[in-house]
Amino acid sequence: MAIRTQKIIGGKIIATVSVITPAFNSAETLAACLASVREQDFADWEHVVADDGSTDGTHEVLERHRRIDPRLKAIHLDTQSGAAGARNAALASASGRYVAFLDADDLWLPQKLQSQLDMMRSTGAAFSYGAYFVRTDGARGPGLCFEPPTELAYADLLKGCPIGCSTVMIDREQAGDIRMPAIRRGQDWALWLEITREGRSAHAFEGVQTVYNRRSGSLSSRKVRKLLDVWDVYHRCEGLGPLASSFYSMRHAYYVAVEKRRFYRNLQTAGRDR
């Protein structure tokens, strides 16, 4: 059983790790997400969930689980502000030195926080990420495993983003007071670019401790506006000119269509091959 070791400073409970979750109409998936945090081997955490103006039962799910575990902190936003706004509201309320991101429809395996934090403390890494399983449309088990490179620098991330947001942990003592830019898509990628821009690299921790639930038709799987949204990251967030932004957008499209595919491993095929 995990033992809680949270500190109290000035009458306020300070957790080592603050888990950041934006939630919009997430009643169907949120309970499993919350349970996966509650079942972590590492217990010195707080889970800050920003309910982004949900109109389903998200509020009720949060309140029910808050009665189960006081480490869950719920923030209810009156109007929808988008994933970046919800994450930033949660970040503003977070007390931990380390922040870990987890989307409301994703899950962690029990050793996720402990194994990632151990790596960061032993290496001094300020920014870490990991591999993840991919489960599509509520399938009973994951069909794919995404295994990103072991280290990524700014130049690598400029070509494309192989970092799953729900695998990321950041040391705010080193990276500073982080916030995600207010753009429609790719806010997390834009933040990773900002953190690595001055020469800091991101490092992978070992193992696969995250389950990414991919839904057909979700914001992350639609392709219609993808190219314009990518251009927006290069132009608005990175300050590149129109020509350079267009060049990198084309480079990013090649990365998604060709290069990113090599990081996926088909678990069903691998099982048949053994």
Asked whether residue 268 is assigned to any structural domain, the reply reads yes
Asked whether residue 84 is assigned to any structural domain, the reply reads yes
Residue 3 confidence (pLDDT): 46
Residue whose C-alpha is closest to residue 175's, from 84, 91, 85:
91
Asked whether residue 145 is assigned to any structural domain, the reply reads yes
Asked whether residue 129 is assigned to any structural domain, the reply reads yes
| E strand or H helix that includes residue 264 | strand 264-266
At 214, is the pLDDT very low, low, confident or very high (cuts 50, 70, 90)? confident
pLDDT at 14 over 50: yes
Residue whose C-alpha is closest to residue 126's, from 88, 176, 193, 77:
176
Asked whether residue 1 is assigned to any structural domain, the reply reads no
Mean pLDDT score across all residues of the chain = 90
pLDDT at 122 over 70: yes
Instruction: Name the phi and psi angles at 30, rounded to 5.
Output: -65, -40
Asked whether residue 261 is assigned to any structural domain, the reply reads yes
Q: Are strands 17-23 and 98-101 parallel, antiparallel or unpaired?
A: parallel
CA–CA distances in Å: residue 24 to residues 30, 103, 105, 133, 180: 10, 10, 10, 23, 17
CB-CB contact of 68 with 38 (8 Å): yes
Measured CA to CA, the distance from residue 72 to residue 81 in angstroms comes to 21
Average pLDDT value for residue range 135-164: 90
Domain extent at residue 260: 7-273
Domain count, the chain: 1
Average pLDDT value for residue range 37-46: 98
End-to-end CA distance of the chain: 35
Domain with 249 in it: what CATH number?
A: 3.90.550.10
Asked whether residue 49 is assigned to any structural domain, the reply reads yes
At 273, is the pLDDT very low, low, confident or very high (cuts 50, 70, 90)? very low
Asked whether residue 31 is assigned to any structural domain, the reply reads yes
At 1, is the pLDDT very low, low, confident or very high (cuts 50, 70, 90)? very low
